[in-house]
Amino acid sequence: MSEALVKLQIDTLEEGGYVATSEQVPGLVAQGRTLAETIEIAQDVARKILESCIEHGDPIPEVFQGLMSSPTELTVPIGVP
């Protein structure tokens, strides 16, 4: 599985909790009671936005485009008896 690093802007809400947005992933808005919960929700929302873009043929946010290109090449050890 590939990973992208997405910058989040996190603001504290007056009524308590946090809200996260990202300029790199248009439409990403996540709200949680704790910072950890907000980040976890933001990760899920970003993943769902990417999946929706792929499913509907919409433009992929630039932060994910490098992951969508050619297959990843890996070197893995193989045990030989």
pLDDT in tens, 2-16: 788 999 999 999 999
pLDDT of residue 66: 74
Distances in Å between the alpha carbon of 6 and those of 3, 16, 45, 51, 74? 9, 24, 12, 16, 24
What's CA 48's distance to the chain center, in Å? 8
Does the structure show a pLDDT above 70 at 69?
Answer: no
What's CA 35's distance to the chain center, in Å? 16
d(CA 49, CA 75): 31
pTM > 0.85: no
Does the structure show a pLDDT above 80 at 42?
Answer: yes
pLDDT of residue 33: 97
Q: Which domains does the chain have, with CATH numbers?
A: 9-65 (3.30.160.250)
When pLDDT is averaged across residues 29-50 and rounded to a whole number, the result is 95
